[in-house]
Amino acid sequence: MIVLDKQSALFTLHTRNTTYQMKAGAHRVLLHTYYGPRLENEDLSRLIRGADRGNCPNPSEAGMDRTFSLDILPQEYSTCGVGDFRLPSIELELPSGSRTADLRYTGFELRKGKYALENLPAFWSREEEADTLVLFLEDAAAKVAVELYYGVLEDCDLITRAVRVVNKGDETVRLCRCASLCLDFPQADLDMITFHGRHMMERCPDRQPLRHGVQSVGSTRGASSHQYNPFVVLCGRDTNEEYGTAYGIALLYSGNFEAAAEHSQFESSRLVMGVNPYHFGWDLAPGESFTSPEAAMVCSPNGFGPMSRQLHRAIREHLIRDPYQGARRPVLINNWEATLFNFNEEKLLSIAKAAAPLGIELFVMDDGWFGKRDDDNTGLGDWFVNTDKLHGGLEALVPKVQALGMKFGIWVEPEMVNEDSELYRAHPDWALTVPGRAPARGRNQLVLDFSRKEVRDYVYGQLHKVLASADISYVKWDMNRSLTDVWSAALPAERQGEVFHRFTLGVYDMLERMRQDFPKLFIEGCCGGGGRFDAGMLYYTPQIWCSDNTDAIDRLRIQYGTSFCYPPDAMGAHVSAVPNLGTGRTTPLDTRGVVAMSGTFGYELDLAETTQAEKEIMARQVAQYKRCWELVQKGDYYRLTDPFQNPLYNAWSHVSPDRRKALVSVVTGSTYATPPFMTLRLKGLDPALRYRVNDGDSYSGAMLMEAGYPLPLPQDDYLSFQLLLEAE
């Protein structure tokens, strides 16, 4: 709900549990007044005060009033070069060479429903589920207009933001920075949680107090990256899972990003988030505009748990576009860890024939099926079937798999090219390379210039033929290297700062075309595993391969960190063989199943190497997942322990929205002599109901949450068990 006070230019955005407010104050400066737990009918601009502060300039309109300074005021969209020395939201390079932006409020527009962004991902809703507010700002001297977009999804406690910059002048203006979100706080006694990592160990939470100065995370790799995630949390120093205020802020963007927080000299703080200004510059000719990616934020007055569940609900219901539309996604098996590049039709069919009796429903053919692709040095870019491996092509193979009662999927990596490929030999200029320099390689491959439409059209044309040649229901879209040598032959020297962003827009364009042309196709995102796990990709790919690390114990940490923003049903998770290829660790098959069952369940191993007893366990795992899938895909997720802090065991649960069913999962750590007795306190149950546990004894919800459930003493390393709770 949006409440307007036109007379005082006060704008209040209400969600179910929170309030966000701003006001056009003196000299038409748009001030941020409040974001926090819901308040009613309050003008909180009274909390904003001025003072004569040394070295804090005053705008010309203030005259002799030395108490009015942009360097002190909480701003809704911070400026640069005109008196505010904190983090800027926007930076313009004007025809004179000056780099300033001075924005003043000029008006507003209120719309029913949620705004959409052209060529960019955004949360969506039915008209009655959301409202949109647009605030208009202008730099009169630069003749540049800025439109601030706010979407309010009241039931999800979600507020979204985006920015559109328009050149209304007669000369070209360069946009050097354009943040999606600026969020000012009157206090600085906050912690900032970021999610760092690396390939095969992504999204590890890191909680640090805001210190004086600027602290930031971001990516300059051309993807949101394994190293940092475009999601951050600001919270009180004592905030935990169930207590304290927590702000979760996500950027719907899959390219270079920056999230920067500043603790100011006057003990206030500011968060700015958006496209990374590194190697960014966007020329706006007269009449042209630039639109920033969308940012989304929630405020939880009751800790991290509700914050995450608010985000999960919003992502499930208003971001992901799932061709299964809430139905159970099929349990899959992927051949990569079983075969690598060494396979043919007979080998693939042998895996499928062994998988079908276990209840597995989707066979995914990974890397190596196309071009001359026998290793990772050749073939990328040649998207036609290798008929030496697959006699008769997909037209022959897919019906044979379907005859076993299984769907069929393939792996692709459209953004990449090998120099040993027909595509590169015909179009070497289509790769990102810098004139006069030998290019850097990653995984022995180069990156195609997806900022160019002709490149995308060619690659998509090849993929379209493949997808139309047989009944393919699933695509795993991979990206296995970061961007270097970022220079496009299609742009002049002065516009090379546009390449990174245009590349990301090109990826979105390809994905949207694929979705439109093949509406029943399910696309899973992947970037060397979890290197592009962000809200922007979830708009196009309903799930993302969480990590190339399939070790069950490492996955406890990876999936824990991922859950702070992203719902479990967005996390691609598989059972793989042991010893694990990445870590060498051996864990029980039961445990690998329990961990994978907390995401989108599947297998990635050679069934020919499994025993009959292991196959029986796998069949039980598949049956258990099919029994409990609604809890994972639709339920509320509760983190019961922190795997980074608790070496004894890790536990989590999925609870149905009506609180009548729950699936509790527990994985123990390494055993040692005389371990303590462990009692697990559950969350999210109805205290007034009684729950039968695994069809056995029943307990009250109050007892299970307050007193807890006794855990058995572990008899070996990395054991697991699950509790299925059903209300009587």
Per the CB < 8 A criterion, the answer to whether 254 and 219 are in contact is: no
Residue 276 corresponds to which tokens in the numbers above? 């990374």
The pLDDT of residue 202: 98
How many angstroms separate the CA atoms of 239 and 190, rounded?
Answer: 10
Q: Would residue 100 count as lying in a domain?
A: yes
DSSP class of residue 494 equals G
Dihedral Cα 529, 531, 537, 541, nearest 10 deg? 0
Q: Would residue 611 count as lying in a domain?
A: no
Per the CB < 8 A criterion, the answer to whether 648 and 678 are in contact is: yes
Per the CB < 8 A criterion, the answer to whether 685 and 701 are in contact is: yes
Domain residues for the domain of 394 are: 363-520
Q: Would residue 556 count as lying in a domain?
A: no
The reply to whether 534 belongs to the active site is yes
In this structure, are strands 257-263 and 269-275 parallel, antiparallel, or unpaired?
Answer: antiparallel
Residue 137 corresponds to which tokens in the numbers above? 């700002």
Residue 299 corresponds to which tokens in the numbers above? 């405020």
Rounded to the nearest 5 percent, the helix, strand and coil shares of the chain are 25, 35, 45
The pLDDT of residue 505: 98
How many angstroms separate the CA atoms of 626 and 634, rounded?
Answer: 13
The pLDDT of residue 551: 97
| One domain for residues 121 and 248 | yes
Residues paired with 247 in a beta bridge? 234, 299
283 closest CA partner among 178, 176, 174 = 174
Angle, vertex CA 563, rays to CA 558 and CA 568, nearest 5 = 95
How many angstroms separate the CA atoms of 710 and 688, rounded?
Answer: 20
The pLDDT of residue 424: 98
| One domain for residues 214 and 86 | yes
Mark which of 318, 342, 372 sits at the end of a domain.
Answer: 318
| One domain for residues 75 and 22 | yes
Per the CB < 8 A criterion, the answer to whether 617 and 623 are in contact is: no
Residues paired with 234 in a beta bridge? 192, 247
Mark which of 485, 520, 555 sits at the end of a domain.
Answer: 520
How many angstroms separate the CA atoms of 278 and 90, rounded?
Answer: 14
The pLDDT of residue 698: 95
| One domain for residues 301 and 373 | no
Q: Would residue 345 count as lying in a domain?
A: no
* Catalytic residue of the set 283, 361, 419, 534: 534
Q: Would residue 595 count as lying in a domain?
A: no
Q: What are phi and psi of 246, to 5 degrees?
A: -135, 135
In this structure, are strands 600-604 and 636-639 parallel, antiparallel, or unpaired?
Answer: unpaired
The pLDDT of residue 714: 87
Q: Which residues contact 721 (CB under 8 A, 6 or more apart)?
A: 594, 665, 666, 712
DSSP class of residue 373 equals -
| One domain for residues 292 and 410 | no
User: Helix or strand or coil: residue 601?
Assistant: strand
Low-confidence residues of the chain: pLDDT under 70:
none
Looking up residue 490, the CATH number of its domain turns out to be 3.20.20.70
Instruction: Find where tokens 């390393």 sit.
Output: 717
| One domain for residues 391 and 488 | yes
Looking up residue 688, the CATH number of its domain turns out to be 2.60.40.1180
First and final C-alpha spacing in the chain: 39
The pLDDT of residue 467: 98
Looking up residue 293, the CATH number of its domain turns out to be 2.70.98.60
Cα diameter, the chain: 86
How many domains does the structure of the chain reveal? 3
Over residues 644-681, the pLDDT tens digits come to 998 899 999 999 999 999 999 999 999 888 888 999 99
The pLDDT of residue 289: 98
| One domain for residues 205 and 121 | yes
In this structure, are strands 158-167 and 30-37 parallel, antiparallel, or unpaired?
Answer: unpaired
| One domain for residues 100 and 47 | yes
Helix (H) or strand (E) holding 703: helix 701-706
Residues paired with 365 in a beta bridge? 410
| One domain for residues 204 and 80 | yes
| One domain for residues 265 and 392 | no
Q: Would residue 194 count as lying in a domain?
A: yes
Model-level pTM greater than 0.95?
yes
* Catalytic residue of the set 614, 630, 686, 717: 614
Residue 563 corresponds to which tokens in the numbers above? 């859950």
Dihedral Cα 390, 393, 395, 397, nearest 10 deg? 10
Q: Would residue 451 count as lying in a domain?
A: yes
The reply to whether 614 belongs to the active site is yes
How many angstroms separate the CA atoms of 329 and 569, rounded?
Answer: 9
How many angstroms separate the CA atoms of 7 and 108, rounded?
Answer: 13
DSSP-assigned states of every residue in 272-292: EEEE--TT--EEE-TT-EEEP
| One domain for residues 206 and 91 | yes
Residue 437 corresponds to which tokens in the numbers above? 């320099």
Q: Would residue 551 count as lying in a domain?
A: no
The pLDDT of residue 647: 87
The pLDDT of residue 209: 98
Mark which of 520, 550, 582 sits at the end of a domain.
Answer: 520
| One domain for residues 206 and 259 | yes
Per the CB < 8 A criterion, the answer to whether 654 and 625 are in contact is: no
In this structure, are strands 446-447 and 416-417 parallel, antiparallel, or unpaired?
Answer: antiparallel
